[in-house]
């Protein structure tokens, strides 16, 4: 694959974005399961939600791609809502 070809670069970026979005989806599903387990084992809702807020802050500081950061934020907010209602 020629990395100097503009079309090739676009495909690489799209592939990278698709991979990141897939990883973020798996990550958020895992967080939902972990959060639900923590709630079932007696951790307070507030403590679990505080952990999610810390993860959001860490994501904001460490995820370089604005698109991946926004995707992670949306997924984390969905996990937050699910666990807030549990």
Query: In this predicted structure, what is the pLDDT of residue 67?
Result: 85
Predicted TM-score (pTM) of this structure: 0.71
The full length of the chain comes to 86
Predicted local distance difference test score (pLDDT) of residue 5? 59
Percent of the chain whose pLDDT exceeds 70? 87
* Dist CA 86 CA 79 (whole Å): 11
Chain Cα centroid distance, residue 19: 12
- Smallest CA-to-CA distance from 79 within 57, 60, 58, 55 is with 55
Task: Please give the average per-residue pLDDT across 34-47, as a whole number.
Answer: 94
Whether 26 has a pLDDT exceeding 60, the answer reads yes
Burial of 36 (0-12, 13-18, 19+ CB in 10 A): middle
Q: What is the pLDDT of residue 15?
A: 82
């Amino acid at each position: 694959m020629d990395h100097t070809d503009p079309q090739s670069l676009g495909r690489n970026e799209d592939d990278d974005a698709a991979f990141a979005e897939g990883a973020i989806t798996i990550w958020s599903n895992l967080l939902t399961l972990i959060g639900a387990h923590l709630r079932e084992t007696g951790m307070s809702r507030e403590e679990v939600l505080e952990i999610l807020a810390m993860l959001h802050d860490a994501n904001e500081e460490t995820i370089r791609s604005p698109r991946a950061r926004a995707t992670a934020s949306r997924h984390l907010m969905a996990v937050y809502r699910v666990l807030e209602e549990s």
